């Protein structure tokens, strides 16, 4: 698809780098030839994993989220390092958050291959969703487990009531759309 309305960058007035993100202020020329100040953030891509074990969604212990100033229930997830890929990142996240080894993942299914733009107006960050089905023969430590919900429609509805993270909700709904 051709983008006949592509804006042109005419200057950058600030760039602030940190290990977590880069904040960029730019002057952009729009299709009406106006020069606009625009802010954007560059961040590493994210992975969210719908984790299923014996007909249950498994969620790790809730974590404090500085962005909303509270502890929230979320699926396992994290950032994709620039030297890695989303699929390679998943086992490390599951190990860190649920204590699961890669050999305990029976099936790992990507829900998207190119990543969804998290906020295309403000950031380059993409979200990759995966479904990890775990071996029925393993047990998960109760110290790592925050909650379980049945993978039924009723369980899905209850889980959606408890999830505040839009990324987690989107990946869960994509799982449901693909499994229906």
pLDDT tens across 42-100, in order? 999 999 999 999 999 999 999 999 889 999 999 999 999 989 999 999 999 999 999 99
Say if 2 falls within a structural domain. no
Q: Which of 68, 63, 100, 56 is nearest to 78 (CA)?
A: 63
Residues 12 and 57 reside in one and the same domain: no
Strands 126-134 and 35-43: unpaired
Residues 28 and 92 reside in one and the same domain: no
Residues 109 and 145 reside in one and the same domain: yes
pLDDT tens across 115-156, in order? 999 988 889 999 999 999 999 999 999 999 999 999 999 999
| pLDDT score for 122 | 87
Interior angle at CA 95, CA 157 and CA 128, nearest 5: 55
Strands 46-53 and 56-60: antiparallel
Interior angle at CA 61, CA 58 and CA 67, nearest 5: 115
Q: Which of 79, 74, 84 is nearest to 51 (CA)?
A: 74
Say if 35 falls within a structural domain. yes
Say if 116 falls within a structural domain. yes
CATH of the domain at 49: 3.90.79.10
Residues 90 and 48 reside in one and the same domain: yes
Residues 53 and 100 reside in one and the same domain: yes
Structural domain boundaries, residue 24: 8-42
Residues 37 and 48 reside in one and the same domain: no
Pure H helices in the chain: 86-98, 153-162, 166-179
pLDDT tens across 96-121, in order? 999 999 999 999 999 999 999 998 88
pLDDT interval class at 2 (50, 70, 90): low
Say if 79 falls within a structural domain. yes
Residues facing 117 on adjacent strands: 126
Say if 114 falls within a structural domain. yes
Are residues 50 and 140 in contact, defined by beta-carbon separation less than 8 angstroms? no
| DSSP for residue 33 | S
Interior angle at CA 125, CA 68 and CA 106, nearest 5: 90
Residues 48 and 84 reside in one and the same domain: yes
Residues 30 and 62 reside in one and the same domain: no
Residues 156 and 146 reside in one and the same domain: yes
Residues 49 and 38 reside in one and the same domain: no
Say if 55 falls within a structural domain. yes
| Total domain count, the chain | 2
Residues 49 and 33 reside in one and the same domain: no
Residues 97 and 21 reside in one and the same domain: no
CB proximity list for 90: less than 8 A, separation 6 or greater? 47, 49, 105, 108, 130, 132
Burial of 154 from C-beta contacts in 10 A (0-12 / 13-18 / 19+): exposed
Interior angle at CA 18, CA 16 and CA 20, nearest 5: 125
């Amino acid at each position: 698809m051709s983008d006949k309305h592509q804006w042109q960058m005419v200057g950058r007035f600030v760039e602030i780098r940190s290990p977590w993100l880069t904040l960029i202020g730019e002057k952009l020329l729009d299709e009406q030839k106006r020069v606009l100040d625009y802010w954007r953030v560059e961040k590493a891509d994210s992975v969210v994993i719908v984790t299923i074990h014996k007909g249950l969604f498994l969620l790790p212990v809730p974590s404090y989220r500085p962005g909303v100033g509270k502890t929230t229930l979320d699926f396992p997830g994290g950032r994709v390092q620039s030297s890695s890929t989303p699929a390679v990142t998943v086992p490390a996240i599951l190990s860190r958050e649920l204590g699961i080894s890669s050999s305990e993942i029976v099936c790992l299914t990507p829900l998207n291959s190119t990543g969804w733009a998290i906020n295309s107006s403000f950031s380059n960050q993409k979200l990759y969703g995966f479904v990890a089905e775990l071996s029925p023969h393993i047990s998960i430590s109760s110290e790592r487990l925050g909650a379980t919900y049945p993978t039924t429609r009723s369980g899905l509805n209850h889980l959606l009531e408890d999830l505040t993270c839009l990324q987690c909700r989107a990946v869960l709904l994509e799982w449901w759309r693909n499994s229906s």
